[in-house]
Chain A
C-alpha cells in the first residue's frame, strides 16, 4: 500500500489528491475527457489531444496493456501517431493487465513517453465539473503547489496557442506508392485516416499545415484531405484562406473534424464553441438524405453553426441528440466534410464508407 501521492490542480481552485503512475513529469494542459470505454492506446496517441490532459470516464484503464507498434509504409495500424500526444492521463484506477499481443503495461508505456498519470480520482465528479464549467487548465504535479493560481494566470491560454504547429510535420512525409496522389494537409492527422487512404491504394503525401495552395498543387494531387487536429479552429484563418484558394482547382476534397471546421470557415460558415462538447465514440449521426443513422466517434468542442452555414452547403449529417452539424455536402463543389471521425480508432466501423465516397470522387475526376 505504498503508492506515490500525486496532485491534480484545476484552474477553478480545485485540488485533488491521487496516486501517481507513468512518469513523474510536471505537466500542464487543458483537462478534457472521453467516454470511450476502451481504446486508450489509440486515444492517447491521437494528435488532437496535444496540449490536453485526458480523463477517461471508464473507471478501469490499462486492462489489456499496450501493444507493440505495428506499421506498414510508415502508417501505423494500432496507434494514431508515433507517440503519446496527450500531456497527461487522469483515471479512477490504473490496471496492469496484459493480453497476448501486449508489449508493455500502460504504466510502463507512459513512463517511456514521459507522460504522467494520476489515479484514485473521482472521475465522474470531475467529468461533471468539466462538463458544466467548460474545459479548464490543469496541472499534474508530484509536489504540492502553493501558487497554483499564479501559475494558471501565467500559463498560456490554450485557446490561443499554436498546438497544430507542434503536431504537424515540418517537411512533407510520403507513404505508399500508388499512382494517384492524395495530399493530406496535416494538422495532426490520425494514422487511422492514413490507413483508410492507403487501403484505397493512394500514394499519400502529408504536408505541413501551413503549406500554400501552390505548394500543395505542386504535388499534382488527385485528391486532398484536410485532417483533424488540436486546438481552436478560429486561429487558423490563414489556413482557411489556403483552403479557399485550393477550391479553385476543383480537386476532390475530404475534410475531417478540424478540417471540416476550416473548410466551413473558408466558405463563410461560422464556427463556434459548444456548451457541451462531443467527447465520445457512441454517438449517432443521421444522414439527412437517406435518413440512416450511424454510430460514430466524436472529439470536438467547436461546431459549425447551423444558422450560419458555409455558402453552397447543405447539411449532410446531423446529430439527432442536439442537432449539431456533423457533416456538410456542397452543391457545386467536389467537397465532403465531416465533423466526426469516420476512421474511428477508437470507435465503430460504421462510417468507413466515407472514405469510399471520397475514393469515388477521386476516380470520377480522373
Chain B
C-alpha cells in the first residue's frame, strides 16, 4: 500500500440544486478517514458554511473556488502527494479531469486516488458508457449520442419518440428533458448542449412507466465488491432521482430480479475499474423481468449519502480508505465494530426519502417535476412499517402536513378529477394528491396507471385513507390505537397519545450484537434497544429539511454545538431528519436520533433518554417555533429561554420593546384592523413591508406598492403565520444594510459586524456580505450599543443576530433572531474565532470582558450568494425581500477586491467576462453608470434599449439574446424587476450558463475588482 503523508481533497463549492450538503457529509468523512491514518489533509472549497472547511476537519483549508485554476495554485503551494476528487460532487470531478488532462497532476507528481480519470470518462461520457456496456454485454436502452442538432434529429428518427435527452458530465439532470416530437427536441437542444462540458447529449428511448432502481456498489482495488444498498424510487423513470420519493431497501423486487440487477451493478463497477463507490441506475419493466442499465456515477453522490444514512454503512469513509489501497474486508464495520466492512447491510426497518421543493418562491417557475432536479432539500424517515416511514417523512418536510392523510389539501374541496390531473401533471408532493384522489373515490389501479407508481405503494396509501376516515374524530380503543401508532399516525391526525419504542440501526438486523448509537423511534415494539444511564444529557435539535433559507450553515452550527457542549454534559444527543448532513453522521456526534423534529417526538425522546436540557438554536426557525411547546413540557431550554425567543420573534412585542428602549426602527403598525392600516398608509405612504412573525428567510415577507398588493400579501402572511401577529412597516428603500452576529452571556457580547453590498430590499441571504464593515465609527458604536441593550434586556444567552438598515446615519433594527444565523459560520471563519464555542461559554458562565467585543480583523472577508435559476424552468431571475439563493461562497483577501473577486468566482458558473458585457437597469442607475466607466476598455459593453445605460451600444432584447447564444456576451448585469423587458433574456443567460449580476451596487464593486485586483491564495489561518 502506498503511504501518503499529504493529500488534497476537493470540495463541491456552494450549494446548488443538484449539489448540496451531502458533499459536506462525504468530504468530512473522507477527511476523517485520512486523518486516522496520520495523513495531513488539505481541503479546497469555497463553501464557507460547511463543517469540512474548519480546522477540526482538515489540517489546511483553502477557501477558494473549486476550479482547476485555483486547485492548481494550491497544488503548487502545498505539493500534496495525492488528490481525491470523488467527494466533491460533479464540480470536483470535472475540475479533477481538467487537472489531469492539462498535465498538472503529472507535472507536480500528484497521484489521483480512487477511480482513474480514463475510467471516470468512460462512465460519464454518455456515448462511451453506452459503448462500454454493449462491450460487456449489458443492455442499455436504445440510444445514440449527438453533438449537433442534425445528429440529434437523425438519432431521434431512428429510435422513435418519446425520447429522453440526457447530458454528459452534468449534475442534477440539468439540461435533460423528455420530448414528444422533433419540435420539442429542437426546442431543448441548445440548453442541453450548453449544459454539457463536452457538448454532447444522449438521445435515448424514454422508458415510460418503468421502475427506477439504484444500487450502491463499493469496490476495492483488488476487485472485492459489496452492494451496500438498493434504493427503489416510487416515482417512475422520467422523474429525476433527486426529485423522487425513494424507499430503502427495495420493496417490490423479488430475489431473482434483485440479484440479477445486483450482479450487473457489479459488472458495471468492474467495467469502469471502480475504486471506491459508485451508484448504478436501472430501469425495470414492471410487467416483466427486463431491465436496462441507465447510468453510473463513479463518485460519492446524493444517493450514496442517502444510502449511508439508510443502511448505517459509511460509504464515504469506506470509499476513502479503499482509495488508499485497503481491502474491503480489512476495514471494520463502523457500527457493529465486531464485523468487517465487507458485507451488505440488512435492514429491519424501512426508510423513505422525500424531496422538499420551494418552487413557489420563484416567480414564473413551472410547478411540475421531471427529468431536471428541482428539489432543494430532502428528508429521510425511518419506520418499522412503510406507512410509518411515509407519514413521518410527510411531517418532516415541514410543509404543514400532519402525515400522508389529513392535511389541508386532503380536507379541501378538490375533486377526484382535479387531484388526478395534478398527479398527471407531476405536481410536487404527489402523496397529497394521491391521498385526496383515493379519498374522493379513485381506485388504486387508476392512480397507479396515471402516476406510474407501483400499486403496492398506492395500496398502502389507500389503507391509510381508509383508517383515517374510519377513526377521524372518534374515540379510539387501545388495540386500535396500537395499530394506528404502528402505522405512523400522530396525535395531530387522530385522537391518539404518542407512544414510542427506541430502536437501533445496526446494519445487521440484530443478527449480531452491535454497540451502535444510531437510533430511531417506532410507534410499535415491545422493548427499547437503549438503557439510559443517569447522566447529564443535552439534546441538540438539528435544522431538519433544507429549504430556501435553511441550509448547511445550520448544520454547521448543530455540529459545532454538539462538539462544544460535550465539555459540559456527559452525553450529547442529536436529533435530525436530514440525510444530507454532517450532523447525522453517527460518528460525528455522540448519539444520534434520526427522527422527526416535532414537539411530540422531541418530548418522547427526552423522556426515554431522561435528557435534562435541549438546545434549539441550531434548528433554524423550526427550533424557535418549537420553543414554546417544548418549554410547556418542562424540559429546560439551553440558552435563551422561550419567553426571550417569543419576544424577539413576535413582531408586535418586539417593535414595542424597541420603542420602549428608544431604539430606532422603521415606522410600523400591527395589521389587526383595517382602519389602523389605512391610517398608517395615509401617514407614511407606500411602499410598505409586510412581515409575519416566526418565519425565516423572508417567507411571505413582501413589499407592497399599493393597497391591492397590501391586501393580497396580508392574506398570504396570515396563512404563513397563523397564530402570530403580522406587522406592516415602512419599507426602507435604498439603505445600507448591516448585521451583527453575536454570542452573549447575558451581559457581554462577542460580535462580528457585517455589511451588505446590496441595499435594503434585497434579502440578506441573497446579498453579498463583507466584514469588517465599512461604516462610520458613530454608527458602529450605536449598533454595538443596541446589541448590548437588547442582550441585557432580553437576557440573551447564546447566539443571536441583529439586522440593521442605516438611514440617514441612524441604524434602525429590522429584526432580531435568537438563534444561529445563516452568516454565523462566515463571521466565525472571517476572524478565526468560534462564535458557537463562545456562545456555549456564555450559557454556562461569564465572559472575561465587559461590554461589546469584536476582535480585530487582519483581512477582508466577502460572502456571495449562489443561485440555481437554471434548474427552475420558467423562474424569473431577480432579487427581492424574499430569499431565492440556494447556497453561498466566500473568500478572505488582502484587500476588498481580492476577497470579492474570489468569493464571486467561487459561485459555480461565474467567470470573468472576456468578450462582452450587457449592462442595463431600472434601479441603481448611478452605480450601473459608474460600472460602465470602470469597465470601459475591459470588454465590449452593450445595453438594452428598454433600460439603457448611456455610453453603451444599445441592443433589442432579441439582438442581445442572439449575442448571448453566439457567445459574444459573457456577462449580464441587470438591476430591477422588469420581466416584460428581459425575462426571456435572463432565462437564456442562465440556461446558457452565462453569469448574471442582478444588482447595480454589486456591479459597481465587481467592475472595480475585474479591472484592478491582485489575488492572494493563502490558507485560511494566514488571513487571521
Contacts and interface: CB of A to CB of B under 8 A. Distances in A.
Interface of A: 1, 16, 33, 35-39, 41-42, 57-60, 63-64, 67, 78, 92-93, 95-97, 99-101, 122-125, 127-128, 131-132, 276, 279-280, 282-284, 286, 291-293, 295, 320-322, 344-350
Lowest 4 A-B CB distances belong to which pairs? A39-B255, A35-B346, A284-B342, A346-B255
Contacts of A132: 513
A60 B385 contact: yes
19 contacts: A16-B526, A35-B508, A38-B253, A39-B254, A57-B511, A58-B249, A59-B385, A92-B384, A92-B385, A100-B286, A124-B503, A124-B525, A127-B510, A131-B510, A131-B511, A131-B513, A279-B511, A292-B224, A293-B329
A124 B348 contact: yes
Contacts of B529: 124
B40 interface: no
A301 to B, nearest CB: 12
Interface size range on B against A: 35 or more
A292 B338 contact: no
Interface string B342-373: 11111111100000000000000000000000
Given A35-B508, A292-B223, A347-B259, A122 B342 contact: no
B262 interface: yes
Given A347-B259, A348-B259, A320 B342 contact: yes
Given A58-B348, A59-B384, A284 B226 contact: yes
Given A38-B258, A293-B342, A346-B255, 13 more contacts: A59-B348, A93-B385, A97-B455, A127-B348, A276-B511, A282-B344, A284-B340, A292-B223, A295-B226, A295-B343, A321-B338, A321-B512, A347-B259
A95 B525 CA distance: 18
A331 to B, nearest CB: 26
A293 B350 CA distance: 28
Given A276-B512, A346-B255, A293 B384 contact: no
A99 to B, nearest CB: 6
Interface in B209-252: 222-227, 249-252
B263 interface: yes
A41 B345 CA distance: 21
Nearest to B526: A122
B722 interface: no
Nearest to B342: A284
Contacts of B250: 38
B527 interface: yes
Given A38-B258, A60-B385, A292-B224, A127 B338 contact: no
B251 A100 contact: no
Nearest to A64: B254
B470 to A, nearest CB: 8
Contact of A286 (B329, B480, B525): B329
Nearest to A39: B255
A16 B525 CA distance: 11
Given A59-B385, A78-B256, A295 B344 contact: yes
Nearest to B477: A1
Contact of A57 (B255, B260, B289, B509): B509
Contact of B346 (A37, A122, A349): A37
Contacts of A345: 255
The dominant DSSP class at the A interface is: loop
A280 B511 contact: yes
Interface in B311-339: 327-329, 338-339
A1 B287 CA distance: 32
Contacts of A295: 225-227, 342-344
A93 to B, nearest CB: 6
B989 interface: no
B678 interface: no
Nearest to A130: B510
B961 interface: no
Of B258, B340, B346, most buried by chain A (CB within 10 Å of CB) is B346
Nearest to B258: A38
Nearest to B330: A320
Contacts of A57: 346, 348, 509-511
Contacts of B222: 291-292
Interface in B445-461: 455-456, 459
Of A37, A41, A63, A67, most buried by chain B (CB within 10 Å of CB) is A37
Given A35-B509, A280-B508, A60 B251 contact: yes
A291 B330 CA distance: 11
Contact of A122 (B226, B258, B456, B527): B527
A62 to B, nearest CB: 10
A175 B760 CA distance: 84
A346 B348 CA distance: 17
Nearest to B471: A1
B889 interface: no
A288 to B, nearest CB: 12
B288 interface: yes
Given A58-B346, A348-B263, A125 B525 contact: yes
A291 B329 CA distance: 10
B483 interface: yes
Contact of B224 (A35, A93, A293): A293
B524 interface: yes
B259 A321 contact: no
A350 B483 CA distance: 40
Of A41, A67, A283, A345, most buried by chain B (CB within 10 Å of CB) is A283
Contacts of B384: 59, 92, 124
A145 to B, nearest CB: 19
B757 interface: no
A254 B788 CA distance: 82
B386 interface: yes
Contact of B347 (A37, A39, A123): A37
B252 A63 contact: yes
A45 to B, nearest CB: 12
Given A39-B255, A321-B340, A127 B525 contact: no
Interface string B74-98: 0000000000000000000000000
Interface in B35-89: none
A322 to B, nearest CB: 8
Contacts of A291: 222, 327
A321 B328 CA distance: 12
Contacts of A123: 348
Given A100-B288, A122-B527, A131-B511, A42 B255 contact: yes
Contacts of A348: 227, 259, 262-263, 344
B456 A321 contact: no
B264 to A, nearest CB: 10
Nearest to A5: B479
Contacts of A293: 224, 327-329, 342
A25 B256 CA distance: 30
Given A78-B256, A124-B525, A295-B226, A37 B343 contact: no
A166 B384 CA distance: 36
Contacts of B227: 295, 348
A99 B454 CA distance: 9
A60 B524 CA distance: 14
Contact of A127 (B225, B289, B350, B509): B509
Contact of A349 (B263, B343, B509): B263
Nearest to A102: B254
Nearest to A284: B342
A282 B229 CA distance: 11
Of B252, B254, B288, B347, most buried by chain A (CB within 10 Å of CB) is B254
A124 B510 CA distance: 7
B657 to A, nearest CB: 51
Contacts of B329: 284, 286, 293, 320
Contacts of A320: 329, 339-340, 342
A75 to B, nearest CB: 15
Contacts of A101: 289
B350 A59 contact: yes
Interface string B642-674: 000000000000000000000000000000000
